[in-house]
Amino acid sequence: MEQLLGIKLGCLFALLALTLGCGLTPICFKWFQIDAARGHHRRVLRLLGCISAGVFLGAGFMHMTAEALEEIESQIQKFTVQNRSASERNSSGDVDSAHMEYPYGELIISLGFFFVFFLESLALQCCPGAARGSAVQEEEWGGAHIFELHSHGHLPSPSKSPLRALILLLSLSFHSVFEGLAVGLQPTVAATVQLCLAVLAHKGLVVFGVGMRLVQLGTRSRWAVFSILLLALMSPLGLAVGLAVTERDSEGGRGLAQAVLEGVAAGTFLYVTFLEILPRELASPEAPLAKWSCVAAGFAFMAFIALWA
């Protein structure tokens, strides 16, 4: 038991150190500031951004969504089994079967997607003056991209949305807490080490991508560092909660509320990935096959890591 506790404490510090190191690297080094880059340097940063976009896409589908669906289905089945006797008295077997087959997980993830959609729509409705410039910019870019592919003029970049950056950080923070909680709840040394290594392998690239995203959005260095620090504390926080739970009950940390929160976080993450990250990286029409290859490589890495995660 003491050995298991020591391993979990080591995982806690490893998660904290890796997140801080990978997240602060693009913030602390000016080489990653794409606005000041020119020529080959700028193209390399664009391709790195496409790799990070593929990593975000893979993290959204292969980790966050997959884990949320699995956990929601597990909790729904557990709840159904516990209430089976009452259900059999009040309803027929066909109704119970339909209840089990309903895609609750997909519904919860979609609600997370529409929740962020609503927040952005509300922000645009309440602050039309602040959003008008970015909307016109996006319309101009869209027209140039669709009707003037052969034009050699400079295409304006898509709008920088601080709300989407905030949602990205919040959804990753939720997911990081649950990742740490999963590591903290493992019953054996082998299971703890295996899961921690899988989390470390994909978390490093994801947090590095977050750091690059904050730099590209023009976030002030102080706030960017604070954001990464806050994100870095989430996994250790979840692991500490898992350690506290295992002292009493190995199943006490899991429940329907956690599954629902993880599903909502997955939906918000997918929203930001498809409406902020991928459009921004694929905005310019240059080197489309190279960009596709980089996005695919990032996704393939996350899909490979999912074999152990």
Contact 231, 223 (CB under 8 A): no
pLDDT recorded at residue 250: 45
Q: How confident is the model at residue 296 (pLDDT cuts 50, 70, 90)?
A: very high
Decide: helix, strand or coil at residue 242: helix
> Averaged over 280-286, what is the pLDDT?
78
12: which 2 tokens? 């806690």
Bigger pLDDT: 35 vs 95: 35
| Short-list 70, 82, 18, CA closest to 228 | 18
Dihedral angle, C-alpha 267, 269, 272, 273, nearest 10 °: -110
Beta strands in 102-238 (DSSP E): none
Average pLDDT over the chain, rounded to whole? 75
pLDDT for the residue 147: 35
**Tokens standing for 17?**
């150190």
Give the tens place of pLDDT for each residue, 4-61.
888 888 888 888 898 898 888 888 887 777 666 677 877 888 888 888 888 888 888 8
Q: Helix 162-184 and helix 104-126: axis angle, to 10°?
A: 150
Give the integer Cα–Cα distance in Å for 136 and 53.
25
Residue 118 exposure: Cα atoms within 13 Å on the Cβ side: 7
- Pure H helices in the chain: 2-28, 39-58, 66-82, 84-90, 93-101, 104-126, 128-147, 162-184, 189-216, 221-246, 256-272, 278-281, 288-305
Work out the number of other CB atoms within 10 angstroms of the CB of residue 116: 24
- With a threshold of 0.75, does the pTM exceed it? no
Domain ranges, ordered by start, for the chain: 1-31+42-84+103-127+159-307
Q: What is the chain's length?
A: 309
Of 74-78, 101-105, 121-125, the range with the lowest mean pLDDT is 121-125
Q: How far is CA 291 from CA 98, 145, 210, 269, 302, in A?
A: 44, 16, 19, 21, 17
- Please say whether the beta carbons of 181 and 252 come within 8 A: no
Q: What average pLDDT does the segment 77-96 reach? A: 64
Q: How confident is the model at residue 152 (pLDDT cuts 50, 70, 90)?
A: very low
